Amino acid sequence: MLRATAEICPNWLSDVPAPNVSVGKRCQPFRIEMVVRGNLVGHAWRTYRSGERTLCGARMPDGMKENDFFPEPILTPSTKAEAGHDEDITPDEIIARGLATREQWDELAGLTLRLFRKGCELAKTRQLILADTKYEFGLLDGRICLMDEIHTPDSSRYFLAEGFEERQARDERQLQLSKEFVREWLISEGFMGKEGQVVPIMTDEWVETISGRYRELYERVIGEPFRPEPLSDEETLRRIVSSLERLGAI
């Protein structure tokens, strides 16, 4: 996904020498998560259902149902907290708190919407709908650069496009691809990520279930079979060193 969007915005990724290794550039991060929403779902829906019609300074029209498309995608940024939970924030508050200048915000907003449009186009080719996602940006040599992974089920919510309109018309639950099933299991086990809570133990069977679901997610989003490439620690290290030498990092 980073390579597929590099023409829109430069990103941190330099090389992938092994399946579980990425080599990239260190950026100075903006303490903002650029959340963009094409559909009324998740946090936006919970806010809407409470009666609010504004989220992070973005206006949400009356008369919408859960999962409906917004007339145009909306930006609902949040703070990137170093500790505790991220918090909703408006563009004016971002500028007032010095998290970005007006010019930087305008560029971040423009890049976010362009990346989201590209993500929606890619999703459509996989018979998916990119409902919402988030991007993280930083500065590299004074230039805005895309950080972290993008358009993965860890940072995005996908709906299955086939039958979407029919399910909406019947007020049925939409079929989605995301990490939500893991979150729901954690909640069912009493874990909410609060201070002092301990992550519940996962059985081998549940770990295999999660692995299987993520393989399915990968194949649906990427559009190709998931083929593991088992490597020894020695081979992984050799590839890392070779990559760093090739990049002039060592």
**What is the pLDDT, as a whole number, of residue 6?**
86
**What is the pLDDT, as a whole number, of residue 84?**
56
Domain count along the chain: 1
pLDDT tens digits, residue range 186-230?
A: 989 999 888 888 999 999 999 998 888 888 888 888 888 988 888
Give every residue of the chain whose pLDDT is below 70, as ranges. Answer: 81-85
Let me know: does 156 contact 58? Beta carbons within 8 Å. no
Q: Is residue 207 part of a domain?
A: no
Q: Is residue 250 part of a domain?
A: no
Terminal-residue alpha carbon distance, the chain: 27
Q: Is residue 220 part of a domain?
A: no
Tokens read off for 114: 């362009």
**What is the pLDDT, as a whole number, of residue 214?**
85
C-alpha 158/C-alpha 155 separation (Å) is 10
**What is the pLDDT, as a whole number, of residue 81?**
65
**What is the pLDDT, as a whole number, of residue 83?**
57
- Global pTM reads 0.87
Q: Is residue 52 part of a domain?
A: yes
**What is the pLDDT, as a whole number, of residue 77?**
97
Q: Is residue 187 part of a domain?
A: no
Q: Is residue 43 part of a domain?
A: yes
Range of the domain at 151: 3-178
CATH number (domain holding residue 29):
3.30.470.20
Q: Is residue 231 part of a domain?
A: no
pLDDT tens digits, residue range 103-113?
A: 999 999 999 99
For the chain, list the strands marked E by DSSP: 13-18, 21-24, 28-29, 32-39, 54-55, 58-59, 69-75, 78-79, 128-140, 143-147, 156-160, 176-177
**What is the pLDDT, as a whole number, of residue 235?**
95
**What is the pLDDT, as a whole number, of residue 178?**
80
Q: Is residue 141 part of a domain?
A: yes
Q: Cβ of 43: how many Cβ atoms within 10 Å?
A: 15
Q: Show the CA angle centred on residue 127, arms to residues 216 and 173, nearest 5°.
A: 75
